[in-house]
Structure 1
Amino acid sequence: MAGREPVEVTNLDRYDHPVLPWSRAEEALATSMPSPSVPSFLGTVRPDGRPSSAGVGAVWLDGGVYFTSSPGARKARNLAQNPNCTFSVRLGGIDVVAEGEAARVTDPDTLMRLAAIYWEAGWPAEVEGDAFTAPFNAPSAGPPPWHLYRMRVATVFGVATAEPYGAARWRFDG
């Protein structure tokens, strides 16, 4: 993660390929998101233990996954009860699944920084108070405001879908 190195690396490849370097996954995450052409999914846990998954417009920044949610959306309600979540994305040459915990971000500087990143990607987000507004969002997003969340990543799995092939698990300190 930008400036963070894994504390444990496990080669999961069953075909004798060398272990995938973390830099390959990190570079793909940093250069591919956010983009409307890169679908990504957040997995959360409902209060009754059932899984829930939702598409999100995500940003990889400073070793974390940022995404937004309406306060009333299922994912926000789930995270309020249980911050454990997953993030899945297919990037050029590598599939990535991350596990960690998400928390709401209200820091004005971080909100402004992420609003600018979303703006550059085509979503004209603006900071209003401690959340985002915009003239549009995904059809299922609900009305503004939209809260910003950061997933602190603990474990990442990567499976290369292009040469050099391989599969790895990277674990990070809290």
Structure 2
Amino acid sequence: MTIPAGTIDRRYSDGTAVPTPWTDVTAILDASQIFWVTTVRPDGRPHVTPLIAVRVDGRLYFSTGPEERKAVNLEANGACVLTTGSNSIEYGTDVVVEGIAAVVTDRDLLERVADAYRVKYGREWSFEVREGRFVHTDAGGQALVFGLTADTVFAFQKGNAFAQTRWRL
């Protein structure tokens, strides 16, 4: 995937700030253990909840039970935002990934996503792939897997030089 250069928004950045490098953003996405997903309820109200996510081939993936609010919301409206970063105002970089989430059913891709979960989160997050879904190895519960196709990414750098960088994909 070719990533365009990030543009810095001078309205929300220090005068000396430079755009956050894309490699910094991907490193944050790969290292972050907790993400916040925002979906849209059928009545238009937002729904936000924490979850875990992995990045495979440049795309973010997360899973949820088919009856959970986020899955129900995404079935009706795939618009979604994944957010991660630091809870500090003094340091770190927050990343916001906006796009459309869709259920993934391709077995080979699901196997690679399951492998990424095990590598990133450990054995307690082991899944088998059955009939286009994740099945938790120990608990047996089923989950849908969503892939987020990003259209806009923001990085909010904090600390000595506040900077807001945007990528349109």
Give the TM-score normalised by structure 1. Answer: 0.83
Q: Is the 8 A contact 2:56 2:112 kept in 1?
A: no
Distance 1:152 1:124 in 2: 24
Does the C-alpha gap of structure 1 residues 89 and 158 become closer, same or farther in structure 2, counting only changes over 3 Å? same
Q: Which has the higher helix share?
A: 2
Distance 1:65 1:41 in 2: 12
Distance 1:119 1:28 in 2: 18
Stretches of structure 2 that go unaligned for 5 or more consecutive residues are none
Distance 1:68 1:162 in 2: 33
Question: What is the match of residue 110 of structure 2?
Answer: 111
Q: Is the 8 A contact 2:14 2:162 kept in 1?
A: no
Question: What is the match of residue 18 of structure 1?
Answer: 18
Distance 2:47 2:162 in 1: 30
Q: Is the 8 A contact 1:57 1:67 kept in 2?
A: yes
Superposition RMSD in Å: 1.9
Stretches of structure 1 that go unaligned for 5 or more consecutive residues are 137-142
- Where 1:44 maps in the other structure, the secondary structure is strand
Summarize deviations over 1:15-50 as a string: whole Å, max 9, x none.
Answer: 1111222222122213x14xxxx2211100000000
Does 2:129 align with 1:169?
no
Give the TM-score normalised by structure 2. Answer: 0.85
Question: What is the match of residue 5 of structure 1?
Answer: 3
Distance 2:72 2:47 in 1: 11
What number of residue pairs does the alignment pair up? 158
Distance 2:162 2:13 in 1: 11
Does the C-alpha gap of structure 1 residues 163 and 108 become closer, same or farther in structure 2, counting only changes over 3 Å? farther
Deviation (angstroms), 1:68:
0.2
- Where 1:72 maps in the other structure, the secondary structure is coil
Aligned sequence identity (%): 34
Report the AA paired with residue 104 of structure 1. V
Distance 2:117 2:48 in 1: 22
Q: Once structures 1 and 2 are overlaid, which stretch shifts more, 8-17 or 40-49?
A: 8-17
Q: Is the 8 A contact 2:7 2:167 kept in 1?
A: yes
